[in-house]
Structure 1
Amino acid sequence: MQIDILGCESFGARSLACAVKTGERKILIDPGVALARLRYGLLPHPVEVAAALRIRKRILAEFEGTTDIVISHYHGDHMPMKAEDPYQLPVEALPSVEGVRFWCKGPEKISGLSARRRKELSHFLGFPLPASEGSGSDGITFSSPVPHGTKDKGFGTVMMTRISEGDDVFVHSSDIQLLDRETVLEIISWKPAIVFASGPPLYLSHHVPEASKEAFENALLLARNVDTLILDHHLLRSFEGYRWLKEVAGKVENTVLCAAEFMGKEPELLEARRKILYEKLPVPREWHESYARGETDLEEYFL
């Protein structure tokens, strides 16, 4: 089994995209990327925009040879979008998906906005999207809906993915944020060697006060039951999150690391650094207007 993480906050932009190859199968999970529209009261810095473009290019390149595409839920950093802002992966950029099998979060327990996005993606593709929770075939299975973060807080649900090849098991647990013990126990019951998950949103701790303590206990439980635990996404939108990650890693014998480290790269927490980036490399607001109109050649300066 080959696991390639394509995008994550430790790569500089919001994403949880990965590609998994098993035998003759290539499974692309959550092919999306986005940037926080505002952080510290600031629009995305061009360095972040460049990182999002690199991730977008990696995702699009991985469509070649893909046999299966998984959409765990309908947030803009997890799926191709009908263009809502210039930083996401637009559906119009997708190559042909003829012959590719889709596995998708169903319409149950999602917001009105997510339901609209699901319909828009279905319309663009030209066929109805399946409701894949609880289904699967040939080494790939999907969970029933599990909480997007804290249970019963109104954040909706997501779908987790289990991929197996022989004795190797990989779980993509999407935006669980380690905030629901039942979900963590379900992952453990799948007996994975490697788990890729969103850690808790510590940067929103004023909204989710239980995020650090409860998630820490769940992270320890999960880490002690898998060989490798990859935590990223919401967690690494702050420097506090990276320190939290290293604290978990220091309390277990198994491997706990972020997505960039798993891929042999240095973490780039660009969203967390947005204020610092503007201080070091000031950018006029007009730059964003020019970029949105397609009048700025970002590649010339940053890629």
Structure 2
Amino acid sequence: MKITPIAFESLGVRSQATLIETKDLRVLVDPAISLAPRRYNLPPHQREVGRLTELAKVLVDVTKDVDVIIVSHYHYDHHDPGYVIPTDIYKNKLVFIKDPQNMINNSQKYRRAPRFLRSIKDKPSKIEIADGKTLELGRTTISFSPAVPHGADERLGYVIQVAISDKDSTVLFTSDIEGAPKDVHLKFTKEKMPKTIIIDGPLSYLLGRVLKEEELEKSIRNMEEIVKNGLETVIIDHHVLRDINYAEVLKPVYDIAKDLGVRVTTAAEYLNLEPLILEARRKELFKEDNRPARIPRGLANLLSAGEG
């Protein structure tokens, strides 16, 4: 099995786009890329815009040869109704989606999911609701969790987790569980016993605003529990990489992983690249170059549509 992170915070953008290749199947999870509309009360820097443009081209190119596309929920850094990534990527693909009607918040149920489904209408070879299902495609098994909360606050909605197995190994993609602050976030991992897990990490950069100290502590404890679950590799990237001090936040997880011989890495480091932290360095970037970014129309529309 081959795992290729396409776009993540450690690669310079908001995303969890991941390509997973088994011996007979190419699966793309959450093919979307976004930026923070505002951070430190600043708009995106030109370096962020340039990186998004670059990775969007990579993502579109990757989709040409994939068999399956999965959408874990309807935040704009996980799906795109055509703002930045053209919906033609869904042509003739087998598409699995988070249930757009059940276990979903109002924003996604009445606005984002319907808009997305209209935008890809008649393009996929088939669209299936994925929640809680398991299917065999050749020698590959794809399993989806029931919907679980998008972190500690269920008002943010629900996501589906994905496990992909090729008989030799299993990779599990948690989607936006915000580092597992609830015990229900661990259930699917314990059932599937993956060798590799891709997890987003806690919203530590919003500590004291949308994340409570006790929720962060619970999240770290549960991530420690995940590391103890027989894993070989843990890719921690997405929400927590929006915190310039992410390594300090995750230190208890790194320490336990080291003791157990488990590799903990960002998406960039998994690809043998240096992390490219841009959003968390936005103030610094504007000090270096204060010129306003040239934002393409599609990206401008995406940013005006709101975060996530």
TM-score (norm 1): 0.88
Q: Match of 2:305? A: none
Post-superposition Cα deviations, 1:47-105, rounded to whole Å, max 9, x if no partner, equal: 0111111221121111111110000000000012243xxxxx24xx2435333111100
1:6 aligned partner: 6
Residue-pair matches, total:
283
Match of 1:208 among 206, 211, 216: 211
Letter matched to residue 119 of structure 1: P
Alignment correspondent of 1:137:
135
Deviation at 1:185, TM superposition (A): 3.2
- Where do 4+ consecutive residues of structure 1 move more than 6 Å? none
Secondary structure at the residue paired with 1:102? Answer: strand
Task: Show the counterpart of 2:97.
Answer: 104
Q: Is the 8 A contact 1:28 1:66 kept in 2?
A: yes
Whether contact under 8 Å (1:205, 1:211) holds in the other structure is no
Moved more, 241-250 or 198-207: 241-250
Amino acid at match of 2:222: N
Range that drifts further, 15-24 or 243-252: 243-252
C-alpha spacing 1:101/1:217, structure 2 compared with 1 (3 Å): same
Between the aligned residues of both structures, percent identity stands at 29
Which residue of the partner structure matches residue 114 of structure 1? Answer: 108
| Aligned CA distance change for structure 1 residues 246 and 57 (closer, same or farther; 3 Å) | farther
For 1:61-210, list aligned pairs within 5 A.
61-83=61-83, 89-90=84-85, 93-95=86-88, 97-107=90-100, 108-115=102-109, 116-127=111-122, 129-138=127-136, 139-150=141-152, 153-177=154-178, 178-206=180-208, 207-209=210-212, 210=214
Alpha-carbon distance, 1:211 to partner: 3.7
Unaligned runs of at least 5 residues, structure 1: 84-88, 295-303
Coordinate RMSD, CA, aligned: 1.9
Aligned to 2:302: none
* C-alpha distance in structure 1 between counterparts of 2:211 and 2:154, whole Å: 10
* Equivalent residues of 1:110, 1:156 under 8 A apart: yes
Cα contact 1:238–1:269 (8 A) shared by 2: no
Q: Which runs of 5+ in 2 are unaligned?
A: 300-308
Q: From the superposition, tell whether residues 218 and 51 of structure 1 become closer, same or farther in structure 2 (CA, over 3 Å).
A: same
Equivalent residue of 1:80, what SS? coil
Does structure 1 residue 279 correspond to structure 2 residue 265?
no
Contact 1:82 1:120 in 2 (8 A): no
Distance 2:87 2:154 in 1: 34
Q: Retained in 1: the 8 A contact 2:220–2:252?
A: no
Equivalent residues of 2:11, 2:276 under 8 A apart: yes
Counterpart in the other structure of 2:267? 259
**CA apart distance, 1:259:** 1.0
2:27 is matched with which residue? 27
1:107-133 per-residue CA deviation (whole Å, 9 max, x = no partner) reads 212233322222122212224843210
In structure 2, relative to structure 1, the CA distance for the partners of 1:184 and 1:37 (3 Å cut) is same
How far did 1:268 drift?
1.1
CA shift digits 1:229-264 (9 cap, x unpaired): 111101000112232234421222211111111111
Whole-Å separation in 1 of the counterparts to 2:224 and 2:271: 22
SS of equivalent residue, structure 2 residue 128: coil
